[in-house]
Amino acid sequence: MSGIVIHVRQGFEDDAAKELSHHLTLCGVTSRTMQAIADSAIVVVTLSIEDMKLARSQLKLADLIFSRQLLWLASFVHLPAEGDRVTALIDVIKGPLLEMAGANAFSGFFFETPDTDSSKELTGFCKSLTRHVENALNKLKLTPKGKGAAHLPRVHLVMTSNQQVLVTLADVDNSSPWTMGIPRLRFPPSAPSRSTLKLEEAFHVFLGPEQMADRLVAGMTAVDLGACPGGWTFQLVKHRMQVTAIDNGALDEKIMATGLVTHLREDAFTYRPYDTVDWMVCDVVEQPAKITSLMVDWIVRGHCRNTIFNLKLPMKKRYEETASCLNHLKERCRESGKIVEIRAKQLYHDRKEVTVYVTVAPLPKTGQSK
């Protein structure tokens, strides 16, 4: 058996399946059997071996908005109700999965479940099996330690019930480094709202450690549209940026006490800065098309170099609405001559929304001032 498994937000299986199907068509995949059970938090696609090769060579997790993790399926394993549950898993790992990896070992091993309330009941079972599977892999020398193994594919065992496990593989350069594609972030006690985790996760997902060090620098200028009570401003201040917070509401007193924030009681849709800012962020609750138009104006007119914003999705046709907004954004940037990088992802800390990151390429060095 061969195919694809993606982790998604519970309730968004259909949107993720539509998006994945579209990208598989672009890859030249001609046939597939797609299983997207409502509220299962995963989508499983069965492919022929040839179509699997096509998909694996072209499909990129970074291009998938509604997918948290991209895994390559080797087999469904049915575990016995009692007794030895490890041997059947190891047989697939050292057989079909190792062949799929195209190597003699793996860089690591995750045992995980879909992100649903019902799957939490399987957590204890996963933990008990994890130790036994790890010991077996170590005995077979299939998970060597050290930097030399870091580039090798990673084993993911996805337990969907107490008797069914999907044995899958993750390519380390085309997958999320976190179990189930979920970064484990702690809510800062001093943050004014839990929405702060949305922006923190966006930094981790879109930038990664190296770009975070280069693009989140003390002294940079930033604007937070619709800032109150200050969850996103909190993250910008955390990186010692000079922040202009735009909102008619009240901003958290502790944030104002940092001396890094100027609070302007103005309309987020009409405010524009005098000079180009390094960052503009926006978590305003409004129709996605209206937010997209606002972002287009900021980017095309050169008001910001980087932006992260959220699109609050409608009840129906969420994939279609997201695609429409992103296509409009790309088209307007192209028409204006702006060279931009655009990425979008439904993050773990998002709910019925999608987070978008846009960075504008710097002007070529011609000896002239900007």
Tens digits of per-residue pLDDT, 23-35?
999 999 988 899 9
Q: Do residues 161 and 224 share a domain?
A: no
Q: What is the mean pLDDT of residues 198-221?
A: 95
Q: Do residues 219 and 355 share a domain?
A: yes
pLDDT at residue 122 greater than cutoff 80: yes
| 274-294 per-position pLDDT tens digit | 999 999 999 999 999 999 999
Q: What is the mean pLDDT of residues 32-42?
A: 94
Predicted TM-score (pTM) of this structure: 0.93
pLDDT averaged over every residue in the chain:
94
Q: Do residues 29 and 167 share a domain?
A: yes
Q: Do residues 214 and 246 share a domain?
A: yes
Q: Do residues 78 and 138 share a domain?
A: yes
Q: Do residues 34 and 164 share a domain?
A: yes
Q: Do residues 260 and 164 share a domain?
A: no
Establish if 368 belongs to a structural domain.
Answer: no
Establish if 341 belongs to a structural domain.
Answer: yes
Closest CA to 51 of 103, 2, 101: 2
Please tell me the predicted confidence (pLDDT) of residue 41: 97
Overall domain count for the chain:
2
Residue 51 one-letter amino acid = D
Its domain, for residue 290, covers 196-360
Q: Do residues 158 and 233 share a domain?
A: no
Q: Do residues 211 and 330 share a domain?
A: yes
Judge contact between 32 and 45, C-beta under 8 A.
Answer: yes
Give burial (CB, 10 Å; 0-12/13-18/19+) of 182: middle
Q: Do residues 111 and 214 share a domain?
A: no
Cis peptide before 229 (omega within 30 of 0): yes
Q: Do residues 108 and 219 share a domain?
A: no
Enumerate the active-site residues.
312
pLDDT at residue 222 greater than cutoff 80: yes
DSSP state of 143: S
pLDDT at residue 368 greater than cutoff 50: no
- Indicate the pLDDT class of residue 361, thresholds 50, 70 and 90: confident
Closest CA to 65 of 124, 129, 20: 20
